[in-house]
Structure 1
Amino acid sequence: MAGHRPVVFNGPSGVGKTTLLKMLMEEYDGVFCKIVAHTTRDPRPGEVNGKDYHFVTREVMEAGIAKGDFIASTEFSGNMYGTCKAAVQAVQAKNLIGTLDIDMQGVQNIKRTDLKPLYVSIQPPSMAVLEKRLRDRNTESEESLQKRLKAAKEDKELSKEGLFDVIIINDNLEDAYRQLKDALLEEINKVKKVNMSS
């Protein structure tokens, strides 16, 4: 796929990925653009179709996967999630860096495509810190929380296997953000250069 390299973000729920991505989008407005994924789950309060996710039926999603429209798809807690090629191409056509926030299975799926993104893993300083952050959010049932912590432990182990170009430990938000910007500076400058000359 032509265009700027997208950035794939991975890390457990509650690690601060969404906050870091938001900071990046705000500081570099006109450089980054979220690649909107598809899901079969119902929208949460405040979520907007086409902005947060493309909310679709399982039938629509399964048909798209069967046709090869998706570069990555996975199932979590009974819902399907996926990233379609058209969403990536739409962002690249705007001369922007697309950002993808996906789980470990999605990372492994994308490794088998010709996308060649920059892979960034955001990790907690410890499992205890992550558990506290998840409990403080107060959005999970105990069963769901345990499921997320188990997935986080598996992610942490897999992140050590050389899947990622950059691993950032989010112990302090400002430090983590500085590391993230440093890691993406080369790509940011490429976009700015192209946009200035056009």
Structure 2
Amino acid sequence: MTDTRPQNNSLLIVLSAPSGTGKTTICNRLREVRPDIKFSVSHTTRPPRQNEREGVDYHFINGERFEAMQKKGEFLESAWVHNHFYGTAHSTLKAHRDRGEDVILELDPQGAASIRKLKLDAVFIFILPPSLRELERRLRQRGTESEEKIIERLTAGKIEMGQYRLYDYIVANHSVEETVETLLCIFRAEKHRSSRFTTDCPVIGDILKSD
């Protein structure tokens, strides 16, 4: 069978979700079923949570170093979220793209809006909770934050969900397996957009040569 897939056709996927929606669990499952899809490791000034690893979940740095990187223009995007800085380094994304890898950027809507403004060829996906009541239940079930923090995250979540038009796709996370399968369907469909095909594709190249 002739391979009609585009060559060197790496996807940049921007994935966002309000805190408590289950994004970490979804991303961990994606890593298991599709290890070929890479995750861009962001820099943050917040302390690591339990089981988070340096260089795997985030690059954990102090505020002084973060600000120094900002001044040097080392970040593709950066944002102040829940009282901490987060940023995606140009070098991190470039390394993935140079290797032709599909890469996921886990960003809040501030970061997603910054990527939109850069007009990068990216696919934007927003994960929603099934309902606000379920979001609150999940936040409380974690048992890691005070009542004040829970209310703060719920308020922020409502604001973030109001920015859904930034995204190309909306996926409600009713179950992890269903959500992961939906995401994989989106990835597969985006890989076959006609705009992603070039003359490097054998069939397209042959057609153009015959014209």
**Paired amino acid for 2:47:** D
1-side partners of 2:70 and 2:88: how far apart?
10
* 8 Å Cα contact 1:3-1:93 kept in structure 2: no
Residue of structure 2 equivalent to 1:84: 89
- Report the alpha carbon displacement of residue 172 of structure 1 after superposing the two structures with TM: 2.6
1:25-174 to 2 correspondence within 5 Å?
Answer: 25-30=31-36, 32-159=37-164, 162-174=165-177
1:3, CA displacement in angstroms? 6.2
> Cα distance, 1:189 vs. partner?
7.4
Segments of 4+ moved more than 6 angstroms: none
Residues 38-59 of structure 1, C-alpha deviation per residue, up to 9 Å, x if partnerless? 0112222332221111112212
Conservation of the 8 A alpha-carbon contact between 1:33 and 1:98: yes
State the aligned residue count. 187
2: CA distance, partners of 1:48 / 1:157: 32
Task: Name the CA shift for 1:73/1:87 in 2 (closer, same or farther; >3 Å).
Answer: same
Unaligned runs of 5+ in 1: none
Alpha-carbon distance between aligned partners in 2 of 1:74 and 1:126, rounded to the nearest angstrom: 26
Distance (Å, rounded) in 2 between the aligned partners of 1:183 and 1:71:
25
The alignment partner of 1:108 has SS state of: helix
> Structure 1 residues 181, 42: CA separation in 2 closer, same or farther (over 3 Å shift)?
same
2:208 alignment counterpart: none
TM-score (norm 2): 0.81
Alignment deviations for residues 132-186 of structure 1 (CA, whole Å, 9 cap, x no partner): 0111111111111111100111111111xx2111100112333222211111113
Aligned partner letter, 1:172: S
Change in 2 beyond 3 A, CA 1:146/1:111: same
Q: 1:175 aligns with which of 162, 174, 178?
A: 178
- Once the two structures are aligned, what percentage of the paired residues are identical? 35
Of residues 3, 11, 23, the one that matches 1:5 is: 11
Deviates more, 1:181-190 or 1:168-177: 181-190
TM-score (norm 1): 0.86
Contact 2:11 2:101 in 1 (8 A): no
Distance of 1:173 and 1:3 partners within structure 2: 27
CA distance in 1 between partners of 2:28 and 2:52 (Å): 15
Q: How far apart, in 1, do the equivalents of 2:20 and 2:120 lie?
A: 27
**Residue aligned with 1:167, SS:** strand
Where structure 2 has 5 or more consecutive residues not aligned to the other structure, the ranges are: 1-7, 194-199, 201-211
- Distance in 1 (CA, whole Å) between partners of 2:118 and 2:149 is 31
Three-state SS of the structure 2 residue aligned to 1:46 is coil
SS at structure 2 position matched to 1:8 = strand
Q: Deviations over 1:98-131 (max 9, x none)?
A: 1111111111111111432110000011100100
Bigger-Rg structure (1/2): 2
Of the three residues 18, 22, 32, the one matched with 2:24 is 18
Partners in 2 of 1:68 and 1:94 — Cα distance?
23
